[in-house]
Structure 1
Amino acid sequence: MAETTITAQRLKELLVRLPHECIGIDLRGVARGKYAKVILKHLWWLVRNPDTSLNHRKRAQIIFITLAFSAASAASGVGYAIYTLISRLRARTFGRTPVMRRTRSQVMLENGARVMYVPYEENATNKKRILISPKSDDMYEHDKFLFKYFGKNKISQVFYSKFISQLNIISRILVPKVTDQNSILLIFQIFFLVMRTWLSLFVARLDGQIVKDIISGNSRKFLVDLLCWFLIAFPASYTNSAIKYLQRKLSLNFRINLTRYIHDMYLDKRLAFYKLTFDNQASSSVIANIDNSITNDVTKFCDAICSVFANIAKPVIDLVFFSVYLRDNLGTVGIVGIFVNYFITGYTLKRWTPPLGRLVSQRSTAEGDYYNYHLNLINNNEEIAFYHGTKVERTKVNALYDHLMDQMLLVDRVKVNYNILEDYVLKYTWSALGYAFASIPIVIATFSSGVNNEDVNMREFIVNKRLMLSLADAGGRLMHSIKDIAQLTGYTNRIFILLSVLHRVHSNVYNYGATVEEGEDSSGHNSLTSSDIVRGTLQRNFNGIRLENIDVVIPSKYGKDGTRLINKLSFQVPPVITLGNGNSDSNLNINKKLAFQGPGSSMLILGPNGSGKTSIQRIIAEIWPIYNKNGLLSIPPASDLFCVPQKPYFIQGGTFREQIIYPMSADQYFDMGYRDKELTHILGEVKLDYLLKRDKGWRYLDAVAEWKDVLSGGERQRINFARIMFHKPRFVVLDEATNAISADMEDYLFGLLKRYRFNFITISQRPSLIKYHDLALDISTDGTWRLQNLGTDEVITSIEKEIEMLENKLKNVNVWEGERAALMRKLAHI
């Protein structure tokens, strides 16, 4: 018992003496409850008073920094705990979690606004509808003037006007305004970078003091300084973690901003993703590998720019702080000598830096080619299997892979000599010079005084050596950043090309890759604009489909002088335009069995392959331009027009319901009050209701599969008719929509269109479809065309003549069968 009392008394005396040894405060006579208040007050006095002991003041600063970081961490933890507790209490009280989680559900409205559906809790069926204001097309129209061409890229240089200009323009997307979240993150990152450098100065001084304590054998000061070392370790570790987190967070935010900016142009009502294929002015590697550019290049660019910023900002801050501190020890001559060494090293490394920007861009292109070919194998695996084309495909894939490996090895190969020079200069030459510069003040002081104070000299040498090594490390990282900047130029150039092309394609006056004539007007701009190339007139909200004097020309760099498929095409469906909806009752509810007065208008477009039949649908859908200035296209509103392509499209990874209602999303489907009973009726109308009789029943609508592989060719085409019945457009354009369907089902589906009085245009090569249409547009390979009313005597006579000709051919069937039997007998004797 007595020993325990003595131990407790000694411990109490040690705790009382420790503040005196550390910060020079005597706590004897102070009540225990006032220890914290008295110590904090004394620490504040030490920090503010420059006349106090240097060691006490330095330790007070260390304690204050540690307390500040500890308080910030504790406050964050307590705040998060309180927030979690309140959230759980509210969830129990109101039966739901107030924290919303973003989902992939997103709907684009007609005005460009987005509607997102956010569940209240995980796997919840109840969702909150959130409206996001529409993007401004004016912003993209304005930004396109920023993404102009700067001339040839001087890859061999690092800091050149084109790179700086490109980075400056892209930065407006990454950090759109001063009050943006990314601006705050940048400020915090700079703050922690400065804090880390300041803490490094503390650690360097403390390191020298600890060595001095060890050399002098002062155990008390050694223990006190060692305690300060453990205290300063916490804010130093916190700072390093914060810098890494902020760098990663900033990279993700940059990627979010840049990806959304790209998606808003690439996937909107102007169909830039389709029109990109006609752009001949862009870099072929970026356009050919657009998927790789949007995914991999954006990620690499954002990571690279954040890494370069950290790798440049930290060394620059270190150079400034360490230089100011070392100037007092080494003098101005020593600091000037250090920076002269840096400039010589920078010039040497820059001169020997390989063209990493160009090599990185070539490597990205090779990666995109290799990735795209594998994607092509996946999309066409069945066709390749039928042809047994494995050998050819393997040869092609191996060639692309070998090219990719060559590009990757080339980047590493050109770095060998550079890395040898870099390591020799930065690691060994600078370390040797660091020892030489650190010894200068000791040699001068010893020579001038004639006295060698080993304790003081040891401390000064340790501090100077540590700061010199830190300064050398900062300079080394700054030199290493030259290589990082060279790689960043490659990523920046690819992203800039991608954005430039998207702005050009997204423009309202896009010229579809037509070459603009050289020459400038008085204002310095090209004399020929896009509006001079695409000069046709488009009329929307028309009560029908009308084409007047339209030359169907394949979009190319030649513009209106390109390949012309059809000359001066003119037709109108329905032939007589009325102000009301009397020509079609397809807007009526298809579930109601009504007696209609008559069918809608219909037209059949006939012609051989390559005559331009599908091109007419492309013009109606506004994805091909009208070049001739006398050409007029009049189309109904987008909600009244439905174009069915030759190859039915199915959403990857979508439910069966989403395939039927495409292009409507599932959330919009339920939000508008639709029910699955209507889809069941529609499937019955197109004779696909047997699909729901499979093992899942009605739940089959929620089944997820690769539907383009699950459904047969005829079933896929009938899904197109189900989409027509669901969306109920007044006008439908069908391109070879029944070539995989049996004759009886084809007859039924066209009768269905007539029964519900749709206006429809059918594109086909089969004259047998004439019986389902009122008009026939016959196109020849020489660009001429003829429009006929199928109800006229002329057309009826021509059809009768064709029937008579077929009957005459059938009379010779017996003769042909006799000839065939004779040939078979001859074959048997061979």
Structure 2
Amino acid sequence: MPRLEKPNGRGTKRPKLDWKFVQRFCSIQKVLFPSWTSQSVLMFGTLLAVTLTEQLIIYQVGVLPSHFYNVLADKDYSGFRSLVGTAMVLILLNSTLKSLDQYICNQMYVNWRQTLTESLHTAYFQGRVYYTLNVLREDIDNPDQRISQDAERLCKQMSTMASRLIVSPFTLAYYTYHCFYSTGWIGPVSIFCYFVIGTIANKILMGPIVSTLFEQEKLEGDFRFKHMQIRVNAESAAFYRAGKVEHMRTNRRLQALLETQKSLINKELLLYIGVNTFDYLGGFLSYIIIAIPIFTGIYDGLTPGELSALISKNAFVCIYLINGFTQLIDLSTTLSDVAGYTHRIGQLREVMDDILRKQCDYDPASGESYDFDSDFNVHGGPVDTAFILDHLSYKSPYSDELLVEDLSLKINQGTNLLVVGNTGTGKTSLLRVLNRLWEAHSGFVQMTTCFGPRGTLFLPQKPYLTDGTLREQVIYPLKDIYPESGSVDDDRIIQFLELAGVSNLLKRTGGLDERVDWNWYDVLSPGEMQRLCFARLFYLQPKYAVLDEATSALTEEAEAQLYRTCKQLGMTLVSLGHRSSLEKYHDVQLKLCGGGQWELTKLKGERRSHTSSESSL
């Protein structure tokens, strides 16, 4: 696997409002609007109908004052009463439509967030993408924040813009026509020129804001991650009395975040000045446009009442047209946010697609493309060999130095393998290569069994406990893949909890299916967590169990009991460990010597060095 290096700041292209933004934004829209019959399209169409109707009502409300001028000037009492009744009906309709507009936008926000987040989840949890993103790739920050927060904020901002954007072409065309009818060509031309100048000015002012917002969101994620790190490792930090150190380092991340936020606020100040200036100038521009035909004598034949009504009507048309353009300019602040979130989510999707393409590369061992998820199988047939290693060499993704060179062997059923060696010689790395988390530097490795019950299962060095009930801990990961396995035999689970030495958890949790409101990592000791993982292993009963120092927190007596149970259940063991007491449970020992060297020894037998030919265990 090639070494993955984190790009420096000078080599990283700063996100901005450019063609890349348009491409990423359009790719996200394809996710939100997958087909013409999708729920998003139907809601969008409904919103368009509601907003158009709302604009028609607004126009009628807007021209009402001109009618009031007429009836009041003529002292028409019956006409006045009729106008008041009409005004009340129109206001009620307008209020209802405006509320319905907001309701549909909120529904679209929830629907968009669900669609976009589930799409990101699909790619994130496919194969080993989540592992590669969080462990191996350093060119993308805080994928968890991009999925959980940035996606939500993007959908929220788009929903607030939706109703104004979709109705803008119709309202601008409608009021441009009325403005031209009332003021001649000078009115629409003046307003359009005003909008063009405002758009150019805001484009210039928005440029630096997008990249600063992108950086702010990165630092937000770093700051949140630091607090999560302290929460997860609070006890370990407390044993070191590291409160002052962590306080200093957390404040350092906070200061970096706040400095970027201050920079963003300073850059937004100019944008706000520009937006507010154009808002107020718009009001004066409408009176200038109305004044031109009045001072040129076009309306000299009208009575004062008729002139007042005409001025009122023309003022509303011009002001509303200017307001339509002003709203688009006002959206520039929201657009800068949308651009920042679009770049972050778009970049995440591109990196995940890149990882997926590389994971589906041709596998020389099987002669076909490798699918990481397809290995999991609860109905695997009998297989006499678990792994075949052919001249395997591997190294860390972060180093060019080989950990193991030219290792060839077969791991067969019934022959238990113990892997030993000093720290840093590549023991856990070997398991990563076996499980296809890391790619081999040369040669290849093939897992000939299925992954799961009746196949091969791995117990990692750090026990993993998911959220959920005690039953869900024991049968993990079956329930998430095969829902029907929820109706499992309680007696078997209780038996395996007793064999693992953690039957007391039944009393502490209140039963197999009782939800707990505490974190498993906070409540269980390291030894109890390892025992619970063995109860999981006993329940799943694979043919091959790969254990990475899975008993390091237990006594030798407890270790002996667990290993004997594994053998009684018919498992072939591949163990990593430092204790000499493990030798009695294994038949062959692979010692990793560092520098690519290794030694293969039959326990109580002869030794073979790394220069040997393929070994069958």
Does the TM-score normalized on the shorter chain lie above 0.5? yes
Among residues 308, 315, 319, which one is paired with 1:458 in the alignment?
308
- Equivalent residue runs for 1:127-138 within 5 Å: none
Q: What residue is the counterpart of 2:254 in the other structure?
A: 401
User: Which of structures 1 and 2 has the bigger CA Rg?
Assistant: 1
Q: Does 1:262 align with 2:120?
A: yes
* Cα distance in 1 for residues equivalent to 2:227 and 2:299: 77
Alignment-derived partner of residue 420 in structure 2 = 606
SS in 2 for 1:274: helix
**Residue 292 of structure 2 corresponds to which residue in structure 1?**
440
User: Shift of residue 566 of structure 1?
Assistant: 0.6
Match for 2:331: what amino acid?
Answer: S
Question: 1:176 aligned to 2:34?
Answer: yes
Where in structure 2 are the equivalents of 1:718-737 lying within 5 Å? 718-737=531-550
Query: Structure 1 CA distance, aligned partners of 2:107 and 2:40?
Result: 9
SS at match of 1:625: coil
Residue pair 2:172, 2:321 contacting (<8 A) in 1 also: yes
Alpha-carbon contact 2:541-2:569 (below 8 Å) kept: no
CA gap 1:473/1:715 in 2 versus in 1, 3 angstroms: same
Q: Mapping of 1:762-781 within 5 angstroms?
A: 762-781=575-594
Q: 1:608 to 1:701 in 2, by over 3 A?
A: farther
DSSP-derived class of the 1:631 partner: strand
3-state SS of 2:438 partner: coil
Match of 1:650 in 2: 465
Distance in 2 (CA, whole Å) between partners of 1:666 and 1:187 is 37
Q: 1:291 is paired with a residue of what secondary structure?
A: helix
Which residues in structure 2 correspond to 1:523-538 (within 5 Å)? none
Q: Structure 1 residues 701 and 424, CA, compared in 2 at 3 Å: closer, same or farther?
A: closer
Does residue 420 in structure 1 map to residue 273 in structure 2?
yes
Q: Distance in 1 between matches of 2:218 and 2:439?
A: 31
Tell whether the 8 Å contact from 1:731 to 1:759 is kept in structure 2 after alignment.
Answer: yes
Secondary structure class of the residue paired with 2:461? coil
In 1, distance between residues paired with 2:28 and 2:536? 41
**Closer, same or farther: CA 249–485 of 1 in aligned 2, 3 Å:** same
Pick from 650, 674, 685 the counterpart of residue 499 of structure 2: 685
* Amino acid of the structure 1 residue aligned with 2:336: A
1:229 paired to 2:43: no
Looking at structure 1, the residues matched to 239 and 511 of structure 2 have their Cα atoms a distance apart, in angstroms, of 35
Q: By how many angstroms is 1:155 displaced?
A: 5.2
Aligned equivalents of 2:224 and 2:254: distance in 1?
10
In the alignment, which residue of structure 2 is the partner of 1:485?
Answer: 335
**Equivalents in 2 of 1:700, 1:775: separation in Å?**
41
Amino acid at match of 2:498: G
In structure 1, stretches of 5+ residues that fail to align are 1-150, 511-529, 575-582, 584-599, 796-830
Q: Does the CA contact (< 8 Å) of 1:535 and 1:627 recur in 2? A: no
Assess if the C-alpha contact under 8 Å between 1:312 and 1:481 holds in 2. Answer: no
- The alpha-carbon distance between structure 1 residues 350 and 725, as it changes in their structure 2 partners (threshold 3 A), is closer
**What is residue 53 of structure 2 aligned with on the other side?**
195
State yes or no: 1:165 paired with 2:23: yes
Deviations 1:772-804 (Å, cap 9, x if unpaired)? Answer: 111111221122222222253779xxxxxxxxx
The amino acid of 1:748's aligned partner reads: Q
Conserved 8 A contact 2:109-2:155: yes
Deviation at 1:425, TM superposition (A): 3.0
**Is the 1:736–1:764 contact (alpha carbons within 8 Å) kept by the matching residues of 2?**
yes
Q: Which amino acid aligns with 1:633?
A: Q
Q: Deviations over 1:707-755 (max 9, x none)?
A: 2232222222121221111011111001111122112222222222222
- Residue from 789, 792, 802 that aligns with 2:602: 789
Contact 1:606 1:767 in 2 (8 A): no
Aligned counterpart in structure 2 of residue 274 of structure 1, from 126, 131, 140 = 131
User: Secondary structure at 1:649's aligned position in 2?
Assistant: coil
Structure 1 residues 312 and 376 mapped into 2: Cα distance closer, same or farther (>3 Å)? same
Query: Contact 1:620–1:633 at 8 Å: present in 2 too?
Result: yes
Q: How does 1:89-168 map to 2 (within 5 A)?
A: 158=17, 160-168=18-26
Contact 2:418 2:589 in 1 (8 A): yes
1:487-566 residue pairs with structure 2 within 5 A? 487-507=337-357, 509=359, 543-556=384-397, 562-566=400-404
Give the number of the structure with larger relative contact order, counting CA–CA contacts within 8 Å between residues 6 or more apart.
Answer: 2
Q: 1:205-224 deviations in whole A, cap 9, x for unaligned?
A: 22210122122211110110
Task: Check whether the contact 2:141–2:218 (CA below 8 A) recurs between aligned residues.
Answer: no
Residue in 2 that maps onto 1:710: 523
Q: Structure 1 residues 362, 417: CA separation in 2 closer, same or farther (over 3 Å shift)? A: same
Amino acid paired to 2:70: K
Report deviation, 1:627: 3.2
Distance in 2 between the 1:166 and 1:202 partners?
Answer: 40
> Residue 222 of structure 1 aligns to a residue in which SS?
helix
> Which residue identity lines up with residue 22 of structure 2 in the other structure?
I
Q: Cα deviations across residues 347-376 of structure 1 (Å, max 9, x unaligned)?
A: 334344452211111111111111010001
Aligned CA distance change for structure 1 residues 706 and 419 (closer, same or farther; 3 Å)? closer
Distance 1:564 1:323 in 2: 72
Inter-partner Cα distance in structure 1 for 2:510 and 2:341: 51
**Residue 431 of structure 1 corresponds to which residue in structure 2?**
283
CA distance in 1, matches of 2:298, 2:483: 90
1:757 maps onto 2:570 in alignment: yes
Superposed CA deviations along residues 668-696 of structure 1, whole A, max 9, x for unmatched, are 5764641211111112222333444x477
1:393 Cα shift? 0.8
Q: d(CA) in 2 for partners of 1:509 and 1:700?
A: 37
Alignment-derived partner of residue 252 in structure 1: 110
TM-score w.r.t. the length of structure 1 is: 0.66
Are residue 567 (structure 1) and residue 405 (structure 2) matched? yes
Structure 2 residue aligned with 1:208: 66
**Structure 2 vs 1, CA of residues 225 and 379 (structure 1 numbering), >3 Å: closer, same or farther?**
same
**Is the 8 Å Cα contact of residues 686 and 749 (structure 1) preserved in structure 2?**
yes
Q: What percentage of residue pairs aligned between the two structures are identical?
A: 23
Q: Which residue of structure 2 lines up, in the alignment, with residue 116 of structure 1? A: none
TM-score of the two chains, using structure 2 as the length reference: 0.88
2:415 aligned partner, one-letter code: S
2-structure distance, mates of 1:303, 1:436:
38
Give, in whole Å, the separation in 2 of the partners of 1:436 and 1:782.
83
Tell me the CA shift for residue 637 of structure 1: 0.6
Which moved further from structure 2: 187-196 or 223-232? Answer: 187-196
Cα deviation, 1:235-266, whole Å, max 9, x if unaligned, reads: 21122112212222222222111111111111
TM-aligned CA distance change 1:791 to 1:669, over 3 Å: farther
Instruction: For 1:271 and 1:155, locate their aligned partners in 2 and report how far apart those are by CA, in whole Å.
Output: 28
Contact 1:641 1:729 survives alignment (8 Å): yes
Equivalents in 2 of 1:633, 1:398: separation in Å? 48
- 1:459 offset after TM fit, Å? 0.6
Alpha-carbon separation, structure 1, partners of 2:185 and 2:509: 84
Q: For the Cα contact (< 8 Å) 1:153–1:162, is it kept in 2?
A: no
- Aligned with 2:435 (options 604, 607, 621): 621
CA distance in 2 between counterparts of 1:649 and 1:448 reads 83
* Aligned residue runs from structure 1 range 802-821, under 5 A: none
Q: Given that residues 546 and 570 in structure 1 are in contact (C-alpha distance below 8 angstroms), is that contact kept between their aligned partners in structure 2?
A: no
Structure 1 residue 648, shift from structure 2 partner: 1.0
Displacement of 1:556 in angstroms is 2.7
For 2:484 and 2:387, the matched residues in 1 are separated by 35
Task: Report if aligned partners of 1:536, 1:625 keep a CA contact under 8 Å in 2.
Answer: no
**Contact kept? 1:435, 1:465, Cα under 8 Å:** yes
Indicate the SS of the match to 1:355: helix
